[in-house]
Amino acid sequence: MEKILDVQDLKVSFHTYAGEVQAVRGVSFYLNKGETLAIVGESGCGKTVTSKSIMRLLPEPMPAEIKKTTKILFNKNDILKMNEKELRKLRGADISMIFQDPMTSLNPTMTIGKQIAESLIIHRGMNKQEALDEAIKMLKLVNIPNADKRANQYPHEFSGGMRQRAMIAIALACNPKVLIADEPTTALDVTIQAQIMDLIKELQKNLGTAVILVTHDLGVVADVADRIQVMYAGVVIERGTTDEVFYNPKHPYTWALLKSVPRLETGNKDVLYALGGTPPDLIKPPIGCPFAARCEYCMEICKEIMPEATKLSETHEAKCWLQHPLAPKEGVPEGVNE
């Protein structure tokens, strides 16, 4: 498989009055052409900062700072070395992004059709009429009924689900190689969430766009993602294929995320698991495992030394002392390492 995106040693800090917040602390990953990678974790884990870094949408150089050792390669070109003109071409034409709340991303004073047409005129050099015709085709592609009529309406005339479909149409209008979807369904009802995820999956299959899906909800990604990487306190703590992460998870934080996903087969009788405690302060990140304060399996070594990633298969790895070959075996709870 050919890599389209290669993120190497991403380190991002925010300079605040309280001190330097190390929001992302050495994250590396890649995205292959046409695949879907899910980045999962709770609020503040660094997943959105990671996705915004790829688009260079952080307020750099202050208060956000991407460290000099980081490389973000798109088709082997370092995004961090691009000038404004190159970045404008990249955003929209090569990499597009959709956000959680389409109402704040759409222009309330412009019709939906014109908003889709705008990027076609800028990036694909179409004239106004060609762009408006293409906009209607895009609205049909994302299953908006009466697309001809809807193209002349404003965002407030669309329902939440239709607004998110319109955002997807704008994002895909220029046929980008990569689509970054940051919590695309969080603001929507459960049934609409499922429809939007199905739509992303279908479009990804038909158009061959590679997708990075950023979410706090592991349940959302099960049917869509090829691979999953779980982030906690600015680092990747586990990654693997979707089957590996769902059926053979190896990090206690992933176990906690999975326990908090509602399951149909229990008929909603189970009380959902809620992980206690809070993530560590990233102004002074812990020297050991960042999950130690909330982990029921925590050993002495966990508080003192950050575990390296242990390779569990070609595609699966976890940063946890329970999986490490050098872990003190007497501290490993029975059964968890099998």
State in angstroms the smallest separation of the CB of 23 from ligand SF4. 20
Nearer to ligand SF4, 44 or 249 (CB): 249
State in angstroms the smallest separation of the CB of 183 from ligand SF4. 25
* Side chain identity at residue 56, one-letter code: R
Phi first, then psi, for residue 157 (nearest 5°) are -90, -5
- Bridge-based pairing state of the strands 178-182 and 95-98: parallel
The one among 5, 12, 179, 289 contacting ligand SF4 by CB under 6 A:
289
Stretch that binds ligand SF4, among 153-161, 185-193, 214-222, 297-305 (CB under 6 A): 297-305
Cross-sheet strand order for the sheet of 227-232: 95-98, 178-182, 210-215, 36-40, 227-232, 235-241, 317-318, 310-311
How far apart CA 33 and CA 183 sit, in angstroms, is 21
Stretch that binds ligand SF4, among 150-158, 209-217, 265-273, 296-304 (CB under 6 A): 296-304
Nearer to ligand SF4, 126 or 295 (CB): 295
How far apart CA 270 and CA 172 sit, in angstroms, is 39
Q: Print burial letters for 136-153: b (CB count within 10 Å at least 16), e (below 16).
A: bebbbbbbbeebeebbeb
Is 292 a binder of ligand SF4 (CB under 6 A)? yes
Is 322 a binder of ligand SF4 (CB under 6 A)? yes
Residues 227-286 that bind ligand SF4 (CB under 6 A): 251-252
How far apart CA 309 and CA 237 sit, in angstroms, is 8
Across the strands, what pairs with 317? 239, 311
How far apart CA 291 and CA 52 sit, in angstroms, is 24
State in angstroms the smallest separation of the CB of 279 from ligand SF4. 13
Nearer to ligand SF4, 54 or 322 (CB): 322
Is 24 a binder of ligand SF4 (CB under 6 A)? no
Stretch that binds ligand SF4, among 23-31, 43-51, 97-105, 293-301 (CB under 6 A): 293-301
Is 298 a binder of ligand SF4 (CB under 6 A)? yes
Chain residues binding ligand SF4 by CB under 6 A are 251-252, 289, 291-292, 295, 297-299, 302, 307, 320-322
